[in-house]
Amino acid sequence: MGELNINLVSDKPKLIVKELPFIKVGNPAMAIGQFKEGNAVLVNLSPSLNSYTLILSQINMVDLKHNLTDSVTGWLKPQIPINNFFEEYSKFGGSHHSAIVYGDNVYNGLFDFGKLSGFKVVSI
């Protein structure tokens, strides 16, 4: 779908009209760009039948040159090997709806937020 905060892209974001084949509401305008480099936390709120799991992972967003010109892009490097990361992410029910929160000192606040909200909180 292409949601992103335009303040988090490495260069000036580009505004395009993109086909939206999933629902019949017309084609939306969307901002595109590549997420900037930096330390961040990948955040995913995974629902289950009676509760939620807040999945947190300290990552590094990396700059990768590419030819993808009509989408939101970003590449992350987890602190563990990527195959282990995705195994753990899947085990905890991680979905494709995630957020990237930039900063060197945001992890503890996100962890505390999850606990105060009554979520099961896991760290990868």
Question: 99 falls in which pLDDT band (50, 70, 90)?
Answer: very high
Higher pLDDT: 24 or 35? It is 35
Determine the Cα–Cα distance for residues 12 and 32; give it in Å rounded to an integer.
Answer: 9
Read off the pLDDT of each residue in 109-115 and give the average, rounded to a whole number. 96
Higher pLDDT: 66 or 1? It is 66
Read off the pLDDT of each residue in 80-87 and give the average, rounded to a whole number. 95
User: Structural domain boundaries of the chain?
Assistant: 34-123
Retrieve residue 64's tokens.
């990768």
Q: What is the DSSP string of 88-116?
A: HHHHTT--S--EEEE-SS-HHHHHHHHHH
On average, the pLDDT of the chain sits at 90
Short-list 47, 50, 39, CA closest to 107: 39
pTM for the full predicted model: 0.85
Between vectors from CA 65 to CA 59 and to CA 66, what angle results, nearest 5°?
A: 110
Determine the Cα–Cα distance for residues 70 and 14; give it in Å rounded to an integer.
Answer: 9
